Amino acid sequence: MTTTRQWHGGELRWDHLGGDWAVLAPGRAGRPGDVPDACPFCPGHNEDTPQETWRLPGPGEPGWRLRAVRNRYALSDHHEVLIESPHHDWDIAVATDEEVTDLLRAWQIRHRALRQDAAQVVVFRNRGSAAGTSLSHPHSQIAGLPVLSTAVRRELTVMREHYDRTGRPFAADLLTGELAAGDRVVLAGARAVAYSPFAPAAEFEVRIAPTRHRADFAAVPDEELPSVAHVLRRVLAALRDELGDPAYNLILHTAPAGLEHVPYLTWWLRIHPRLALPAGLELATGVPVITVLPEDAAKRLRAHLGDAG
């Protein structure tokens, strides 16, 4: 009952009853909170961050628009922080499409860089303390893991079986159904569609799916990224307008290692607002209790988006 896995300085333990992995990261307990005037991600404090691994150069000072650094409080040695802007108050919701496109391209670059010997690389962005972030400077994280979780394996099985049965990607049929129904669609862009899922995991959860199906987000070509960036930016702006800058986790779901070219998988983005803490029933059953219908959530978000697309 003590199955463990060591990987690049990190440790995972297997939960024999729950049937999934736990990541042990005692070093993360020492993470600092926000320190006024001493943000380690702001320009001028570059010496406070660990080794830089990548940057998107920018004109003038500070000479970069995005930069990736090793995570000082890492899950393993394959865990980076992507500092999304030199500006402490920058956010996707108030950014330009070009800036968000640069961010998505940075995710692609760092995903490719960290996936050499990982089973999967997870890209996520925590905003607000209720979403688990310790620093308010805008940043996302890229973390390699040596295993696939049971939850991810289950998703892969559902998508593969659907494809075997129908010859179509699961996500394609899901999107066709959502566009036909319409009442859960938040925003339909040229290359990406945002919708509230039929059975959400959280109030105001929004998923963004591409209209062109591809397993590997890192392989999305340059000409498709701006439309994805546009939909992501506008949906986050609508969430901010409706809910007043809510805490959320933004998660990129993309192909695990070795499955980048399979026809049954589709990458997608999940925005999981943190409006309420999971309570006893959720912990007892693993089943979320959702107090806002996704059809109502979509309608309320659409009201902020107008007809501009």
Q: Report the residue number, 71 or 254, with the smaller CB distance to Zn ion.
A: 71
Nearest approach in angstroms of CB 38 to Zn ion is: 9
Nearest approach in angstroms of CB 263 to Zn ion is: 43
- The whole-angstrom separation of Cα 37 and Cα 184 is 43
For residue 140, what are its two tokens?
Answer: 């996302």
Site membership for Zn ion, residue 127 (CB under 5 A)? no
Q: Report the residue number, 41 or 267, with the smaller CB distance to Zn ion.
A: 41
Nearest approach in angstroms of CB 84 to Zn ion is: 11
**Residue 176: Cβ within 10 Å count:** 11
Q: Which residue from 88, 160, 213, 302 is in contact with Zn ion, where contact means CB under 5 A?
A: 88
Q: Are 266 and 214 in contact (CB under 8 A)?
A: yes
- The whole-angstrom separation of Cα 210 and Cα 197 is 15
- Exactly one of 79, 139, 230, 253 is catalytic; name it: 139
Question: Residue 32: enclosing H or E segment and its boundaries?
Answer: none
Q: Report the residue number, 42 or 56, with the smaller CB distance to Zn ion.
A: 42
Nearest approach in angstroms of CB 35 to Zn ion is: 10
Long-range pairs for 38-46: beta carbons < 8 A, 24 or more residues apart: 39/88, 39/135, 39/136, 39/137, 40/135, 40/137, 41/81, 41/83, 41/88, 41/135, 41/137, 41/139, 42/86, 42/88, 42/137, 43/86
Site membership for Zn ion, residue 119 (CB under 5 A)? no
Q: Which residue from 7, 21, 41, 248 is in contact with Zn ion, where contact means CB under 5 A?
A: 41
Nearest approach in angstroms of CB 134 to Zn ion is: 13
Site string for Zn ion, 131-170 (x = CB under 5 A): ------x---------------------------------
- Region near Zn ion per CB under 5 A, out of 32-40, 50-58, 114-122, 245-253: 32-40
Q: Are 301 and 206 in contact (CB under 8 A)?
A: yes
Q: Which residue is nearest to Zn ion (CB)?
A: 39
- Region near Zn ion per CB under 5 A, out of 22-30, 129-137, 160-168, 179-187: 129-137
**E runs forming strands in the chain:** 4-7, 10-15, 20-24, 52-57, 64-70, 79-83, 120-127, 139-145, 185-188, 192-195, 206-210, 248-253, 268-273
Give catalytic status of residue 139 as yes or no. yes
Q: Report the residue number, 39 or 113, with the smaller CB distance to Zn ion.
A: 39
Give every CB contact of residue 15 below 8 A, 6+ residues apart in sequence. Answer: 21, 22
Q: Report the residue number, 39 or 293, with the smaller CB distance to Zn ion.
A: 39
**Angle, CA 186 vertex, CA 185 and CA 191 arms, to 5°:** 85
Give every CB contact of residue 241 below 8 A, 6+ residues apart in sequence. Answer: 304
Beta bridge partners of 24: 11
Q: Which residue from 23, 25, 39, 243 is in contact with Zn ion, where contact means CB under 5 A?
A: 39
Q: Report the residue number, 49 or 227, with the smaller CB distance to Zn ion.
A: 49
| Cα-Cα end-to-end distance for the chain | 53
Site membership for Zn ion, residue 42 (CB under 5 A)? yes
- Region near Zn ion per CB under 5 A, out of 42-50, 220-228, 277-285, 296-304: 42-50
Active site (catalytic) residues: 139
Interaction site with Zn ion (CB under 5 A): 39, 41-42, 88, 137
